[in-house]
Structure 1
Amino acid sequence: MLRNIPPILSPDLLHALAAMGHGDDIVLGDANFPASSLGPTAIRLDGLDATDVLQAVLSLMPLDNFVPDPALTMQVVGKPDEAPPIFGEFQKIIDETADHPAPIASLERFDFYQRASEAFVIVQTGETRLYGNIILKKGVIG
């Protein structure tokens, strides 16, 4: 047992977070996200909401403050300016939890998939809300 670690973070995810370096990306994908087919290691957290996982991850991992867009969501297909409610929840969690809060930017669907394919790890959550996907860039602990 360890203290002060959110219990929803699995041993595999804790290992991935510790192994990631500055500038590495982690993807939190919803239940529909093609995590296993994109290439990076996929860690499953079935039954957990992406918002809960985001909160837990950011409680341990610094968000990069050396890049303009350390947090990215996937744009709604055909409606790039639309922001599903989960985007607001993601932003609130980043504002309240990240050591370097930043506004969330977005990527077109296939650009998001490309970026995800180059990530260090993809975490497949049980999130059922559409567009419940976010990419985070790991920062430095000062």
Structure 2
Amino acid sequence: MLKGIPAVLSPDLLKILMEMGHGDELVLADGNFPKFAHPEHVIRLDGHGIPEILDAILRFMPLDSYVEHPAILMEVLPADPYKPVIWPCYREIGAKYEADGLRELAIDKFKFYERAKKAYAVVATGETALYANIILKKGVV
């Protein structure tokens, strides 16, 4: 056991966060995220929601300050009237840890999947909110 590390950050996830370098990307995937989009490293946190995990990660991992959008969201499909209720929560968490906030960009669902395939790792969660997937680009410590 270590002091001050949130319990949601499993040993496997901490190892991944430590291995990642500047510019590497981490996907926080909701419960609907397709299996085909996972890269080699997959961390299972099925019993947790993305806000809890995002909050724990951003305590330790800075977002990339050298890019305009270090956080990528999955855009709502054009014919879908749904408004993602979880995005304001993400912005609130990002504002706690990043001077400029989350600085997110929503991209097309299929572009998101392609980008996720190239990510360093995917954290598979039990998140049930729709359009909850988010990609984080690691910054410099």
TM-score, normalization by structure 2 = 0.92
- Tell me which residue corresponds to 2:88: 88
Write the letter of the residue equivalent to 1:42: V
Matches within 5 A, 1:1-142: 1-35=1-35, 37-78=37-78, 83-98=83-98, 101-141=101-141
Is this contact kept in 1: 2:73–2:104, CA < 8 A? Answer: yes
CA distance in 2, matches of 1:74, 1:6: 27
CA distance in 2, matches of 1:81, 1:96: 30
The alignment of Structure 1 onto Structure 2 pairs a total of residues equal to 141
How has the CA–CA distance of structure 1 residues 101 and 80 changed in structure 2, closer, same or farther, with 3 Å as cutoff? farther
The Cα RMSD (Å) is 1.8
Q: What are structure 2's unaligned runs of at least 5 residues?
A: none
Give the fraction of aligned pairs with identical amino acids, expressed as a percent.
Answer: 45
* Shift of residue 37, structure 1, vs aligned partner: 4.5
Is this contact kept in 2: 1:29–1:35, CA < 8 A? Answer: no
Q: Give secondary structure in 1 for the equivalent of 2:86.
A: helix
* Shift of residue 80, structure 1, vs aligned partner: 8.2
CA distance in 2, matches of 1:121, 1:107: 19
* Shift of residue 3, structure 1, vs aligned partner: 1.1
CA distance in 2, matches of 1:100, 1:26: 20
